[in-house]
Amino acid sequence: RKEVEQDPGPFNVPEGATVAFNCTYSNSASQSFFWYRQDCRKEPKLLMSVYSSGNEDGRFTAQLNRASQYISLLIRDSKLSDSATYLCVVKGGAYNTDKLIFGTGTRLQVFP
């Protein structure tokens, strides 16, 4: 089993749609959680950190459920520019707080 797993993509959605991505992680000692976005042939860029209380940044909402070891990302009112791969990232663990592990990624394609 992979340490961090995500929905298999791709997601093809029209502009204006709401889309949700899910992620599960296996290490219960993980300490922090992030969503990154990666455009084709570019480096990953931080989209948002994920907190237990949930957090929102404009059209993006992230949730963390530590009991279920589950992370989600909701994108409302999708734009063409949201097309990218979304990577769930889990950091920290029992033996090394610096370990940063990527999920498999979910490709989003927003069409007009």
Partner 1 sequence: DTEVTQTPKHLVMGMTNKKSLKCEQHMGHRAMYWYKQKAKKPPELMFVYSYEKLSINESVPSRFSPECPNSSLLNLHLHALQPEDSALYLCASSQDGTGTTEAFFGQGTRLTVV
Q: How far is the CB of 112 from partner 1 (least distance, A)?
A: 24
Cβ(20)–Cβ(73) below 8 Å: yes
Distance (Å, rounded) from C-alpha 42 to C-alpha 101?
18
For residue 10, is the peptide bond before it cis, meaning its omega torsion is within 30 degrees of 0?
yes
Closest by alpha carbon to 93, among 1, 2, 27? 27
Q: How far is the CB of 20 from partner 1 (least distance, A)?
A: 19
Using left for φ > 0, alpha for ψ between -120 and 50, and beta otherwise, residue 27 falls in beta
Out of 27, 55, 76, 102, the residue judged to bind partner 1 by CB under 8 A:
102
Q: Which of 13/27 has CB closer to partner 1? A: 27
Site for partner 1 in 1-40 (CB under 8 A): 31-32, 34
Contact flag: residue 92 with partner 1 (CB under 8 A): yes
Binding site for partner 1 (CB under 8 A): 31-32, 34, 41-46, 49, 87, 89, 91-93, 96-105
